[in-house]
Structure 1
């Protein structure tokens, strides 16, 4: 009887220590697998792509989705140079902060950056209009571009 109760206690202690160790590993950001830059670019592209294409309900693109695939690819090309390390972008990163953030390039403001991303989506949907401004008389085009632009926002540096 004494032997059985000792083995149950030691198994219980072992289970508690094991559960605590697993909880610590899962909750520690430094032990989690770090996101690569390419994964960060894909994640940000997916985020904006599905915001401006809610009809897709976050479904994976299929081989027949050529227009959507083209739109995603062009958006990714526009986002790619704007993804930099946290250490490079954030004003006062905490010691040990790692990862990737979305930022502006070449002296652009965030407003200009989001306008460019909206242009990227709009003109990938309407390639015949590339390089042409949307005429003020084109209410449908202006409405579509404005709807795309409203969805263009990525928080930066934990903001």
Structure 2
């Protein structure tokens, strides 16, 4: 009886690990496989939005989620011009490589881009502060912005 219970427990653990691994693979932010550019922008926006709002547990936004909806919309507006075709962005892509990649625009660095995305989230949460830098004395604001910024990273061109 004990041996039977241990083998069931082992199988259950193995099954859970397998299910979790499959879920992680399926939920990973692979915008290159999106069918259209608009879908790629939406997928990347969702990925970053839910990273900086883990309390939502990836739940779909509801009509009453105005602040979150506004935050998502602003983030999408910032991401939209930065999603371009793999052929346009990646250094020496293979001819069969298709899809979409996140990139910089107007000569900005990736660091500046991620800072801008963090600003987008921070100032959509605090619209009364828009256009004002966070004062060095505002430890709470700096901490919140830094936490947002830590989540702003996307791998590009398979790197």
TM-score range relative to shorter protein: 0.7 to 0.9
What is the TM-score when the length of structure 1 is the normalising length?
0.79
Q: Deviations over 1:35-87 (max 9, x none)?
A: 10000000000000000000000000000000000000000000000000000
By how many angstroms is 1:109 displaced? 0.2
Aligned residues: 159
| Greater Rg by CA | 1
Contact 2:83 2:102 (8 Å CA) reproduced: yes
Q: Take 1:79 and 1:17, find their aligned partners in 2: how far apart are those partners?
A: 34
By how many angstroms is 1:116 displaced? 0.2
Contact 2:29 2:43 (8 Å CA) reproduced: no
By how many angstroms is 1:15 displaced? 27
Structure 2: give runs of 5+ residues left out of the alignment: none
SS at match of 2:84: strand
Contact 1:50 1:57 (8 Å CA) reproduced: yes
Describe the shift of the 1:111–1:84 C-alpha distance in structure 2 as closer, same or farther (beyond 3 A): same
1:64 aligns with 2:64: yes
Q: Take 1:10 and 1:147, find their aligned partners in 2: how far apart are those partners?
A: 38
What is the TM-score when the length of structure 2 is the normalising length?
0.79
Describe the shift of the 1:70–1:12 C-alpha distance in structure 2 as closer, same or farther (beyond 3 A): closer
Q: Take 2:77 and 2:2, find their aligned partners in 1: how far apart are those partners?
A: 69
Structure 1: give runs of 5+ residues left out of the alignment: none
